[in-house]
Structure 1
Amino acid sequence: MILFLDFDGVLHPEPCYDEAKLFTCLSRLEQVLREFASVRIVISSTWREKHSLSDLRRLFSADIAERIIGVTPSWRDHSELVDIIGYQRHAEIEAWLRQSESPW
């Protein structure tokens, strides 16, 4: 099973102008994920555009970070999917699924 994870509005409020409030809900998510050890994570947040996969993993506890298997590609590289699907985030996830060999 794969969780496509956005950060803004999920792990902290959106918009979040106070850095002290960033990732305030991360520990809750990690607690739930520990109950579902087979879940792997793909980062679908726009944070992936400015941070490397290694940097993104460092935001998480080590046991959860090792379950992060990648990031979605940019919808700009798959604009044909946006035309079909109509939503950028959905197109990015669809593109990841198409290029991945991971079962979902």
Structure 2
Amino acid sequence: MLDSNCPTSSLLTPNDRVLFLDFDGVLHPDDVYRNRSGLELRAPGRLMMHAKILIEILKEFPLVKISLSTSWVRILGYRRARAALPPELQALTVSSTWHSRMPKAPLEGYDMYSRYQQIRAAVTRAGLTSWIALDDDPFESWPVHDRRLIRTDPHLGLSSVPTQEELQVKLRALMESE
């Protein structure tokens, strides 16, 4: 039995259609900090303020599974990070790129990799061929030839209509891929 605190890409199968999802800069502005009571947004708005936009978009794509590619998993653990999402997104979330058996110390590996490298490692472990990533990660960390990133503005996240449109286009292509 898998430990529910550390789901790995083994929960995904090669035929799955997967959206790798970051939280900060996507579902709310990127100004999130850890404090004694948890995580707080230090920008106008609230945590997960754009989640409803993603829920509406994903209604058209019910076969898409979510894998968390957010630092929240490393900080809070998979279950708590997943629980921060609205129930509709929790139901679609099946894995994360990080699990508790990976070292937390930056010099021990995982944090030294770019977000692209973290996602590619999860893709390789699961044998995925149909995936995209929604992240505010800078383009420099993504190879020019790989157009699977829907890059959000760190302040606007999914509130940007062009970003929403790009996500819909790439989800349609994802569903058409073999």
Note if contact 2:66-2:94 (Cα within 8 Å) is conserved in structure 1. Answer: yes
Equivalent residues in 2 for 1:9-88, closer than 5 Å: 9-15=25-31, 16-18=41-43, 21-73=46-98, 76-77=109-110, 82=113, 88=114
Q: Tell me which protein shows more strand as a share of its residues.
A: 2
After superposing on structure 2, the runs of 4+ consecutive aligned residues of structure 1 that deviate more than 4 Å are none
| 3-state secondary structure, aligned to 2:76 | coil
Q: Tell me which protein shows more helix as a share of its residues.
A: 1
TM score, norm. by length of structure 1: 0.77
Note if contact 2:67-2:96 (Cα within 8 Å) is conserved in structure 1. Answer: yes
How many aligned residue pairs are there? 97
1:90 aligns with 2:116: yes
Q: Distance in 2 between matches of 1:56 and 1:78?
A: 18
| 3-state secondary structure, aligned to 2:27 | coil
Note if contact 2:48-2:85 (Cα within 8 Å) is conserved in structure 1. Answer: no
Residues 43-98 of structure 1 show CA distances to partners (whole Å, capped at 9, x for unaligned) of 1111111122221222233343122111113792496xx5xxxxx00000011011
1:6 is matched with 22
Query: Using CA pairs below 8 Å that are at least 6 residues apart, which structure has the higher relative contact order?
Result: 2
TM score, norm. by length of structure 2: 0.48
Q: CA RMSD in A?
A: 2.5
Query: Structure 1: any 5+ residue segments left out of the alignment?
Result: 83-87
Matched residue type, 2:20: F
Matched residue type, 2:125: Q
